[in-house]
Structure 1
């Protein structure tokens, strides 16, 4: 994510179906075989699934007692009335005996719920949709829950004041879910620990385009409406899902590496966006050389006209931009495909593993493409006085959700990586980055795991250095 422009904190270079399906993609079997860490570790005692995944920053985000392997989302949206009708079908596995479980859903009206095709009781409790199946679900059982819902979706306001979720635009919707917005448009197990595959069927008025994650699977127009189908086979956290809608110019091609690219650009941003988007294949190729093979089958960009949003987001496989992006923003959001999307958070306090890494990718790109070196960028930042906001709080635990996207997370997070690079040398440093991306591919990671990896790969004791830069308050002293 690039930090919202209305926040002064931020990145250095740019200063953010109508019926239940009866088959499931092959990848779902693998996803069902291993529950996400939240599902196994945070379920409440007894037989009711926990109402949250246990994250101290967002206590009610996610749910316990089950793991969602696959979402099938069938949505119909009218940009003129801003009305959404949806059916979400979730294929899940119980990680404990369940007499009741929750989904995250905010603001939309539920009209029916079934569990394995049998009507289930449900009630609303704030952002929780509490579901009671007719019979208890035994531990290890695979089940399907279908939720019919509708209404006028809108964003949530994050603790830092920025909008998040389903954000209406003058011709559709800008859909960006970090950190808590997925629940504004579909019922979800919304914490990043629970990753799933997705199918999307998105119906909009003819002339509009609906863009989601993963591989484009075609469209069909009838009776003045067009349905777009998408499939995200690799595991994805709910906050990285999108269903952005607008009147877009569309470009499709396949890179030399076989990556299917789909770009959707609002005509008002097309002229400014074209020179940057043209560089996407070379940016992906460069990042692949540094970080390892690109982790997904598809890539691309959604460039919307959404002047009230103020940020871009690394929605998986296809980042969404509120306006024509700068090249540094394109580099940043696509670096997240490795760091943040493929390798996901275990807890939100580790957000530097996303943003520090993507910011440092910008520094590396500049260094290797005729711009300022990473050392020069570091030195300019380190010259800031101890009273500067850069040193306001440590990036390894920002202290709460209001600080997730502030300057220390991005810039001091990147500085941490640069100090690690100086300590271990380039050869070991880039081996560490590639090993991190490969070893946690399509999974999760923590700062402790990264520290252990850095020591193992480099053969150096760097735990103290990383602790200083990530956790000590104030301006760190350089070694």
Structure 2
């Protein structure tokens, strides 16, 4: 995937913001990052957010966003000061009703000093009033706000929140959300979860969305523009809301023919991954000039490009598989991206098999045989690919091969029990690659460290005999390959 990533070396050193407490008994500043080695200044230390309440007003003609964000947080240490990740202009900050001092620091740090320090375990209400033109705000040379002819979209990975709400921007701090957006009549505002209400007054319509389940900041989405919206319910009664830009042109038919099958595909995925973990589902296709899809929680974002060659249910399978692998169970750190992408890619392999377009085994054999041992593809380690290679095709394709190798090793009974058990074991939480390896060994009763090391951590092509892969010298390309292969159709 041609995805812009921030190189950690280009970031402002976290040490510039750290302070050494005078004594253990005195409150100290929260760290300006959570310590993720891929992105040292993403997220913040010293507190945990349980809920975001975002009340916004947006003018599509000018791309002007005004907002008030209310964060419910708990101090995890005695705090004299703490940071939020944010890039728009802030006019006022209050902590527990009292005005707080604030300043900006680094590329996207809002540094807040409350009138009174927070004690460890204390619950705090943080209110931030802000405004700005998101498309004109660049952080380290880029913007994650996708400006469209009729509005704007927030959908990107590993960061998107900075351009529309202040947050603790790391997947390790998940929260529930209320997102309320006022837009001019005739314009629609989409977000995650369920639509609680919609009210019009004086030429403006306010859309109120709620996400009850824990949600990572990068999975929160906002899409404003002119959409055709379809609504229905699943057989179990869950609301399904899909939306399509009125300006999709020739892509409109293929987009609808794909995304309208979301409920059906989700029902099929439940057979492999267990009960769907959220209270709503759907998808949306704005008219963006992008080449990726993203698993924004309950309502994935799709690019028109995903449907350039016709209907594409495979990409819907990928993003909906993420609702279990990536959204409900989120990574602990960005190096654990394989737990998201390897499994979503493997879900596409299972769908291919179901549709008679190539079995998972045939796809694994083709993926293995089509790249010679000296291909740079094999130098990328899916279990720790590095920040520049998070969305490399090896994380997806070699990551899915690793799962096929695991399936060959432990057999279908344990493998499919593992696929269902993992999301149930960690529902609503976070996990890393080591956690998955340990769980796989527990379920199968077999030592698997060597297998995972071979497929996920060695910068070389595994031997053909590894875990029973039976690759031919030149196997026939499965029919589904071109829609699945990330180099041709990138997606998260």
TM-score, normalised via structure 2 length:
0.86
Match of 2:255 in 1: 273
Pair 241,150 (structure 1): closer, same or farther in 2 beyond 3 Å: same
Match of 1:112 in 2: 92
Q: Which residues in structure 2 correspond to 1:255-294 (within 5 Å)?
A: 255-267=234-246, 268=248, 269-294=251-276
1:298 and 1:317 in contact (8 A); partners too: yes
Q: Distance in 2 between matches of 1:73 and 1:451?
A: 38
2:331 and 2:431 in contact (8 A); partners too: yes
Once the 2 structures are TM-superposed, how far is the Cα of residue 165 of structure 1 from its aligned partner?
2.6
User: 1:237 and 2:216 equivalent?
Assistant: yes
Q: Which residues in structure 2 correspond to 1:51-200 (within 5 Å)?
A: 51-106=32-87, 108-126=88-106, 127-154=108-135, 165-200=144-179
User: 1:408 and 2:389 equivalent?
Assistant: no
Pair 158,474 (structure 1): closer, same or farther in 2 beyond 3 Å: farther
Q: Distance in 2 between matches of 1:295 and 1:155?
A: 36
User: 1:356 and 2:335 equivalent?
Assistant: no
Once the 2 structures are TM-superposed, how far is the Cα of residue 387 of structure 1 from its aligned partner?
2.5
Pair 314,156 (structure 1): closer, same or farther in 2 beyond 3 Å: farther
What is the CA deviation profile of residues 332-355 of structure 1, one whole-angstrom value per residue up to 9, with x for unaligned ones? 000000000000010100101000
Secondary structure of the residue aligned to 2:415 is: helix
Mark the structure with the bigger radius of gyration: 2
Once the 2 structures are TM-superposed, how far is the Cα of residue 376 of structure 1 from its aligned partner?
0.7
Pair 156,371 (structure 1): closer, same or farther in 2 beyond 3 Å: farther
Unaligned runs of 5+ in 1: 8-41
1:164 and 1:176 in contact (8 A); partners too: no
What is the CA deviation profile of residues 288-325 of structure 1, one whole-angstrom value per residue up to 9, with x for unaligned ones? 11101000000001111112x21110000000112154
Secondary structure of the residue aligned to 2:28 is: coil
User: 1:431 and 2:427 equivalent?
Assistant: no
Pair 456,43 (structure 1): closer, same or farther in 2 beyond 3 Å: farther
2:263 and 2:282 in contact (8 A); partners too: no
Match of 1:206 in 2: 185
User: 1:250 and 2:236 equivalent?
Assistant: no
For the aligned residue pairs, the C-alpha RMSD in angstroms reads: 2.0
Q: Distance in 1 between matches of 2:36 and 2:192?
A: 26
Tell me which of 426, 439, 454 is aligned to 1:440. Answer: 426
Once the 2 structures are TM-superposed, how far is the Cα of residue 79 of structure 1 from its aligned partner?
1.2
Match of 1:17 in 2: none
Once the 2 structures are TM-superposed, how far is the Cα of residue 5 of structure 1 from its aligned partner?
8.4
Match of 1:330 in 2: 316
2:182 and 2:205 in contact (8 A); partners too: yes
Match of 1:313 in 2: 294
Q: Distance in 1 between matches of 2:331 and 2:136?
A: 23
Match of 2:285 in 1: 303
User: 1:392 and 2:392 equivalent?
Assistant: no
User: 1:376 and 2:376 equivalent?
Assistant: no
Runs of 4+, deviation exceeding 4 Å: 4-7, 42-46, 155-159
Unaligned runs of 5+ in 2: 6-17, 22-26, 467-492
Q: Distance in 1 between matches of 2:184 and 2:353?
A: 46
Deviates more, 1:178-187 or 1:320-329: 320-329
Once the 2 structures are TM-superposed, how far is the Cα of residue 164 of structure 1 from its aligned partner?
5.9
Once the 2 structures are TM-superposed, how far is the Cα of residue 446 of structure 1 from its aligned partner?
0.8
1:396 and 1:471 in contact (8 A); partners too: yes
Pair 460,44 (structure 1): closer, same or farther in 2 beyond 3 Å: farther
Once the 2 structures are TM-superposed, how far is the Cα of residue 390 of structure 1 from its aligned partner?
2.5
What is the CA deviation profile of residues 211-234 of structure 1, one whole-angstrom value per residue up to 9, with x for unaligned ones? 000111121111111110000000
TM-score, normalised via structure 1 length:
0.88
Once the 2 structures are TM-superposed, how far is the Cα of residue 270 of structure 1 from its aligned partner?
2.9
Q: Distance in 2 between matches of 1:265 and 1:114?
A: 38
Once the 2 structures are TM-superposed, how far is the Cα of residue 82 of structure 1 from its aligned partner?
0.9
Match of 1:39 in 2: none
Deviates more, 1:170-179 or 1:354-363: 170-179
Q: Distance in 1 between matches of 2:349 and 2:299?
A: 22
Q: Distance in 2 between matches of 1:226 and 1:406?
A: 41
Secondary structure of the residue aligned to 1:394 is: coil
Q: Distance in 2 between matches of 1:394 and 1:67?
A: 31
Once the 2 structures are TM-superposed, how far is the Cα of residue 6 of structure 1 from its aligned partner?
10
2:93 and 2:129 in contact (8 A); partners too: yes
